[in-house]
Structure 1
Amino acid sequence: MRLTLVYILIAVIPVAYCYSPAFEDLVETGSNRTSIKFLALGDWGGVPYPPYITAVQKATAREMSKVAQQMGADFVLALGDNFYFRGVDSVDSPRFQDTFESVYTAKSLKIPWYVLAGNHDHAGNVKAQIEYSHKSDRWNFPSYYYELNFHIPNTGKTLTIIMLDTVLLCGNSDDFLDETPRGPLRMMDANRQVTWLQERLAQSRADFLLVAGHYPVWSVSEHGPTACLLQRVKPLLVKYNATAYLCGHDHNLQYIEESGVGYVVSGAGNFLDPDIRHWNRVPKGSVKFFSGKASTLGGFVHAEVTKDKMFLTFFQATGTSLYRTALSQRSFE
């Protein structure tokens, strides 16, 4: 009996951490549509004192609404550090209203937000953020890490996005002490997530395969490359021909291309940092774009996934596109 109970517990534990759903429904699927469009925004989480938002967050939210209205957006990827500086304490925290609901108020942003946790979120109660999914029409955070699948309308092609919890994977860090991740709190949880990631990547036949987390694999800025992700995640991205990896953590916009994978840093949703101290710690020639000037007032990424290309456009909050690139669909040869 005791052995049976152990098997049941082992089977149940992963469910609390990961979730792999069927295909998601897009809000509007017109007969002429042939692409999926979304915004990627990291490190957008305001401040824990009045007025609970920053000038950068406000300006970025305003420009996001314009881009979503003019170019289209089916959903938003929220790439962590959703609530500065110590997350939220409960599902009833006023921060959900002050820093999220009251800021991204435009109709064009009343779309699904798919959320993952950052290091500042893990300083608080991540489970409360997961539970908020039941209180909000647009906040979608089903588990610490999970998978999203989409049909690209009228093309027969598919998009998969794997949302990771890089803090569970690599450990937390204290930005005020300029720390790097200190290693996972529970190695069993970290290993379980890597095993799940490898299984999902190996099984994926998606035409476009994205992986998202909070910590960067490659970054030239303050935090630099994340050693844990270089060791445990990057080899999987290359082996299974992932299209791109999206993240935040460093408070700027970056695009780095290496070993056939695009690395997107979109962490300019609330603060800006022009730091490039780790420029020489990424492969030579891999940096295609960097922006962190205060004069941009913030920024985010707009993505459009068509039947054969994924287009990425980096926007500054002052209303100008800064950089645009295209990634090809996966090859299974």
Structure 2
Amino acid sequence: MSLTLIITFIALLGSLYVFCPSSAELPWFEHPAKPDGSLSFLVVGDWGRRGAYNQTKVAHQMGIVGEKLKIDFIISTGDNFYDDGLTGVDDAAFFESFVNIYTAPSLAKQWYNVLGNHDYRGDVEAQLSPVLRDIDSRWLCLRSFIVNAEIAEFIFVDTTPFVNKYFTDPEDHVYDWSGIQPRKSYLANLLKQDVDSALKESTAKWKIVVGHHTIKSSGHHGNTHELNLQLLPILQVIYYLIIF
């Protein structure tokens, strides 16, 4: 069995999914691999630009790559709509940044999306709403969830609420924290009951954790201190359990 991972900051779309119950608290979806057991997908983040900043050109190339690789689905790591998320389920940005941009046949697959900090500046519930799935069935966005793709299991983690500066120094931005209060309890449950439990219970060959903020990075934003303190130790424990 093989796993093709194309990480490139662009965008793409996915395939059929089925909601399944799980012993973990996180919502759980099944996404079958190819008949030969292989899996191909694209990963994109920071893409919702209403076609500007070369988004349409990148989408075109994504369609070419998606066809060549016969991708199974697309993962979005957040900041789906700039600059300030969506204003509601009827926001034209959903069409101008997503529906009308990623039109290549190879991109007619399932999108699995998490939220970024820019998404939290808008109406978070709009992105999570099934109304958007009714508009475009490729769209699936939740705060945190699991996708079981047979040889790989993907744990999607809502990283924005971990970052202190969005609460203490919001830089004149307004964030929609209505779904994650009280914050301390939300993060504790996410880490211990959800992510830790999901990783320990997973029997997949590959366990891939997806989130918006980097844990370690040499880029402009650097490391995310809060994730290094809270999320990384959980990932390291699972890694050592697998290796040893």
TM-score using structure 1 length: 0.58
Q: How does 1:187-206 map to 2 (within 5 A)?
A: 187-195=184-192, 196-206=194-204
Counterpart of 1:145 in structure 2 is 144
Q: How does 1:188-267 map to 2 (within 5 A)?
A: 188-195=185-192, 196-241=194-239
Query: What is the CA distance between 1:53 and its match in structure 2?
Result: 2.0
Counterpart of 1:278 in structure 2 is none
Distance 1:176 1:220, change over 3 A: farther
| Consecutive unaligned residues in structure 2, runs of 5 or more | 1-24, 174-179
Query: What is the CA distance between 1:20 and its match in structure 2?
Result: 2.9
Using the alignment, how far apart are the partners of 1:191 and 1:128 within structure 2? Answer: 25
Counterpart of 1:167 in structure 2 is 160
Using the alignment, how far apart are the partners of 2:136 and 2:162 within structure 1? Answer: 27
Q: Indicate if the aligned counterparts of 2:164 and 2:226 stay in contact, CA closer than 8 A.
A: no
The secondary structure found in structure 2 opposite 1:84 is: coil
The secondary structure found in structure 2 opposite 1:187 is: helix
Q: Which of 1 and 2 has greater Rg?
A: 1
Q: Indicate if the aligned counterparts of 1:169 and 1:189 stay in contact, CA closer than 8 A.
A: no
Using the alignment, how far apart are the partners of 1:24 and 1:38 within structure 2? Answer: 12
Using the alignment, how far apart are the partners of 2:128 and 2:27 within structure 1? Answer: 15
Alignment equivalent of 2:128, drawn from 125, 130, 138: 130
Distance 1:113 1:67, change over 3 A: same
Distance 1:93 1:171, change over 3 A: farther
Counterpart of 1:35 in structure 2 is 38
Q: How does 1:37-76 map to 2 (within 5 A)?
A: 37-46=40-49, 52-76=50-74
- RMSD in angstroms over aligned alpha carbons? 2.7
Q: Higher helix proportion, which one?
A: 2
The secondary structure found in structure 2 opposite 1:140 is: strand
TM-score using structure 2 length: 0.78
Alignment equivalent of 2:26, drawn from 19, 27, 34: 19
Distance 1:108 1:137, change over 3 A: same
Q: Higher strand proportion, which one?
A: 1
Please give the per-residue CA displacement for 1:136-190, whole angstroms capped at 9, x wherever unaligned. Answer: 210112x310011012xxxxxx21000011012335649995x9xxxx8621111
Using the alignment, how far apart are the partners of 2:127 and 2:113 within structure 1? Answer: 9
> Residue type of the partner of 2:48?
G
